[in-house]
Structure formats: C-alpha cells, structure tokens
C-alpha cells in the first residue's frame, strides 16, 4: 500500500532483471530454521512486549503494531489511519517536524510509520548505541504526536498529489488497490488503505484525532525489539515509555469474512495512450491463520509464485506475452484477495487474459504431479530462511505472529508442515481456495478505446477513468 507514497524510487542506470523477483512468501527452512530465543512480557495496561537479543551486528530494530488500521476509518473518510501514520512524525513530543526528522537522520536511523488494513505499524532501525533515542522517538511518535493543523493540511495535500503521481507512473502497483475495491466493494477490505483523492479531501483533523484517541491505546499495542541490546535496560525503558498509556474505551474494529464473487464482473480503468494492458483477476482467498495455509502456499508456488510457475511459464517463458505473471494470497485476519496479475501489449490483451484463465482451468483439471509437488516443497523450504535474516525482519515477524495469535511454531514447524503437504491436501485446497475461472472480479487498466471489446468478452463491464479521484467506480 505504501507503493502509492513512494513513487520515485526511480532507477537511475540499473535496468531490471531477467527473472521477475519471486521470493517465497511462506515456508520454513529445509533444515528447520528456528526463531532465535525471545521473551514475552505483558504490561498492566495490556501492551505486549517481545524481546529478542541478537548480537551479530551493532544494530537494533523495533517494530510496534497498533491494532486498528484503516478498518477503523469512517465510510467516505478512507485514508484517515494513513494520514495519522504520516502525522506521527510531523512533530511529536518535544520536537517539531524538522527537529524530529533531524533526530532520526542525524543518528543515521530510520523510522517509518504506515497504515495497513488492520493495524498501524511503526518500524525503526538504529545503531545499537542509539537505543535510548530510538525508544524515545518511537514512543513520542505514537504516544505524543502533535497533530498540528498546518502539518495536517500539508500531509493531506501531499497524499492526494502522491496518488496523482502514482497514476502517471507504471500502473502495476495500483492494480491491488483497484482489485480490492472491485472485489470487496462495500466490505471493509474494499477500502483503499491510503484512501483515494476524494476521500482524503473529506478527512478532517478531528477524524484523525478521533482515530488516534480510540485506537492508539495500551491494549492495542504489540512491541518487538531485536538486536544488540541489554535485556533489562530495554525492558525498563519500554515499560517507562509505554506503561502509562491507558486502555482503549472504544471497541477494536472487527470484520467478518466476505463472500466469494460468483460469476464475472469487469472493471475497465481507462488510461488513454497506454501501450500495455495491466490486468488483475481475483476472488476472496484465505486468511493468515487458515489451517490449510501451508498447502495453499505450496499450490500457489506452483501456480504463480515462482519464476517457473504455471502462469509465468505460459505468459512469459513460452509465449513472450509479458515480462511477468504471478499470483498471490493477501492474508489478513479474514480472507483477503487471491489475485492473478500481469500485463501485456495492448494488442495481445485478449490472448494473454485467455491464457491466464486457461491456466487456472488447467490447475483445477490436472492438479499437481508428484515431481512438481516435491519441487514446490523444497523451494518453499529453501527460500524461507532469508525472510527472517535481519533484525527488522525478525521484529516484523514477531509482532505479526502475536497479532494473529500464532506461536513460534508457525516458523519453527514450517519445514515439517511443508514436508507433510501431500496429494490429497493439494487437491483439497485447489478445490476450496483457488477460484474457478467463471467466478472472478476482473480489473483492466489500459487504453479503453482499444480494449473495450476485449473487456466485454470477459463479462459485464463497468468503466472509469484512471484520473477519477477514487479506486472504485461510483
């Protein structure tokens, strides 16, 4: 979601890569890589602390997750949580916005705060010698943001303009925002986490303050610290910094599972002059805690999760229709989207989409042979360890596990769970978790004048312009 806010991480000079960057998105080491030891503490006000000392580099990382996120945004005010995230660093505690930025950057540290659908997450990384400063800055940002009216106006304007800029850039990163909106519609998962231009314009500073007061409370916080630190010292600092925060009065937002889409519906987003069509084919998928998540990951690895996947083999390797095609599960508390994404030259829009649909049909018809299943298991196991290599990755993983009520066995037993995925388990998740090609929400971004007919072949079409100030049609 932060893709919208970070448009110009532009490449100067380095052009691209052969293989699309497929990394494993779940899994465990073949040799059973384990989480290093950690300790859990719950403060009286409900703040959960996780401490993992790890002394291989003189660095420290801290991640704070605050339950809430854009699910707590009022309808029509999407982007409230995201603006709060932006404002946490625009003046907090004893520092104004410039002083706050100078404190972070002067120490060579990093601190980012971003909103997700279900939480606000602050991630910090500092040299170990600046541990005290890091805890001070993170707690100031989350507990003492100034929420200054002038800074609010600037942040809101910038957020709106950033979306306009993103729409001028490669549209690929926008597919998920349109896809979620079109798939989930009025369900809370359909809201754009960062808001749209129109909803952002409607957000007031009072909305932001209310979100802050209702959600950023003790019993909503999970804090993980990983790196080179003294356990007692950091535990004491965290207790002092976060221990007096009151519990929440308001209820945490809850969400029910969305129903799957039946039949097809097509959203055509007109980007005049585009020479490629960017497409997204999706349906409601699976949650983070789905008991069948390991088998789903194995099947998705084969279908669209690695370079030699069925989708990339058909659309890229064999036909040269695209630079890349893939599929993924967006795993939240409840099932998020399962989406297939790719892009192709305008003239081959129908050919590429039909091939993607046929490949989905083939998955349902043929399943996986034994050699492919074994390859996918080994791949997931082999690619897992680098996902928990750095302090920041470990801190992020720890808060994510606690947020979803998962234990260390989610990591430690993964290799074994992957090894246990067999033929019947594969067949079961293909039937249950992967959509049929007849039941899909479809998004196409491209030159509508040239692909309107192609869109109509897929199902009933709703059309909007990419410059419309929202991600969903009216």
Whole-number minimum distance, CB 188 to other proteins, in Å? Answer: 19
In the bound state with other proteins, the residue whose beta carbon lies nearer, of 139 and 151, is: 151
Length of the chain as a residue count: 474
- Rounded CA-CA distance 308/306 in Å is 6
In the bound state with other proteins, the residue whose beta carbon lies nearer, of 207 and 215, is: 207
Token pair 């692909």: residue: 451
Whole-number minimum distance, CB 427 to other proteins, in Å? Answer: 21
The Cα-based distances of 196 to 152, 203, 412, 434, 469 in angstroms read 16, 11, 40, 29, 6
- Rounded CA-CA distance 23/3 in Å is 18
Whole-number minimum distance, CB 277 to other proteins, in Å? Answer: 10
Q: How many CB atoms lie within 10 A of CB 270?
A: 19
The angle formed by the CA atoms of residues 41, 47 and 48, to the nearest 5 degrees, is: 40
Cα within 13 Å of Cα(367), Cβ side: 16
Element (H, E) at 381: helix 370-383
Whole-number minimum distance, CB 333 to other proteins, in Å? Answer: 14
In the bound state with other proteins, the residue whose beta carbon lies nearer, of 2 and 45, is: 2
Whole-number minimum distance, CB 335 to other proteins, in Å? Answer: 13
In the bound state with other proteins, the residue whose beta carbon lies nearer, of 248 and 445, is: 445
- Rounded CA-CA distance 51/225 in Å is 5
Phi-psi region of 108 (alpha: psi -120 to 50; beta: other; left: phi over 0): left
In the bound state with other proteins, the residue whose beta carbon lies nearer, of 273 and 424, is: 273
Whole-number minimum distance, CB 411 to other proteins, in Å? Answer: 12
For residue 364, give every residue at least 6 positions away whose Cβ sits within 8 Å of its Cβ, in sequence order, or none.
Answer: 430, 431, 434, 436
Q: Partners of 341 in the beta sheet? A: 280, 326
Q: 309 near 302, Cβ under 8 Å? A: yes
In the bound state with other proteins, the residue whose beta carbon lies nearer, of 333 and 341, is: 341
In the bound state with other proteins, the residue whose beta carbon lies nearer, of 48 and 327, is: 327
Whole-number minimum distance, CB 336 to other proteins, in Å? Answer: 9
Q: How would you classify the pairing of strands 39-42 and 335-345?
A: unpaired
Whole-number minimum distance, CB 329 to other proteins, in Å? Answer: 7
For 231-263, the three-class secondary structure string (H helix, E strand, C coil) is HHHHHHHHHHHHCCCCCCCCCCCCCCCCCCCCC
Whole-number minimum distance, CB 21 to other proteins, in Å? Answer: 5
The Cα-based distances of 50 to 47, 131, 445, 448 in angstroms read 10, 16, 43, 51
The Cα-based distances of 156 to 90, 161, 174, 188 in angstroms read 12, 9, 19, 22
């Amino acid at each position: 979601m932060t893709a919208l806010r970070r448009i110009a991480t532009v490449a100067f000079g380095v052009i691209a890569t052969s293989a699309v960057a497929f990394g494993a998105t779940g899994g465990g080491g073949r040799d059973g890589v384990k989480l290093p030891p950690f300790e859990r503490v719950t403060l009286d006000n409900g703040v959960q602390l996780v401490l993992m000392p790890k002394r291989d580099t003189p660095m420290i990382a801290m991640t704070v997750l605050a339950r809430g996120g854009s699910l707590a945004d009022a309808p029509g005010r999407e982007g409230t949580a995201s603006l709060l995230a932006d404002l946490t660093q625009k003046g907090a505690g004893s520092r104004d916005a410039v002083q706050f930025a100078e404190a972070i950057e002067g120490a060579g540290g990093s601190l980012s705060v971003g909103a997700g659908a279900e939480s606000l997450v602050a991630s910090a990384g500092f040299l170990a010698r600046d541990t005290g400063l890091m805890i001070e800055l993170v707690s100031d940002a989350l507990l003492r943001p100034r929420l200054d009216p002038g800074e609010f106006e600037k942040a809101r304007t910038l957020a709106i303009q950033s979306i306009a800029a993103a729409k001028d850039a490669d549209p690929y990163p926008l597919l998920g925002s349109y896809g979620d909106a079109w798939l989930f519609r009025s369900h809370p998962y359909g809201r754009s986490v960062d808001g749209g231009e129109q909803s952002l314009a409607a957000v007031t500073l009072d909305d932001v303050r209310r979100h802050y007061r209702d959600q950023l409370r003790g019993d909503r916080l999970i804090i993980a610290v990983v790196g080179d630190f003294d356990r007692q010292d950091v535990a004491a600092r965290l207790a002092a910094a976060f221990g007096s925060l009151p519990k929440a009065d308001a209820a945490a937002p809850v969400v029910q599972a969305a129903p799957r889409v039946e039949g097809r519906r097509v959203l055509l987003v007109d980007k005049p002059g585009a020479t490629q069509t960017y497409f997204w084919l999706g349906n409601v998928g699976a949650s983070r805690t789905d008991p069948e998540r390991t088998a789903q990951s194995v099947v998705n690895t084969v279908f669209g999760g690695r370079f030699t996947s069925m989708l990339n083999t058909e659309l890229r390797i064999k036909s040269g229709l695209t630079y890349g095609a893939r599929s993924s599960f967006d795993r939240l508390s409840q099932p998020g989207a399962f989406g297939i994404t790719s892009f192709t030259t305008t003239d081959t829009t129908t050919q590429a989409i039909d091939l993607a649909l046929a490949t989905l049909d083939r998955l349902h018809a043929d399943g996986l042979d034994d050699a492919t299943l074994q390859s996918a298991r080994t791949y997931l196991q082999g690619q897992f360890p680098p996902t928990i290599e750095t302090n920041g990755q470990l801190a992020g993983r720890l808060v994510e596990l606690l947020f979803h009520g998962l234990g260390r066995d989610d990591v430690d037993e993964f290799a074994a769970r992957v090894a246990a995925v067999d033929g019947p388990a594969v067949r079961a998740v293909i039937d249950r978790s992967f959509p049929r090609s007849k039941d899909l929400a479809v998004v196409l971004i491209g030159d509508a004048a040239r692909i309107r007919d192609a869109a109509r072949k897929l199902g009933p079409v709703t059309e909007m312009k990419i410059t419309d100030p929202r991600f969903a049609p009216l």
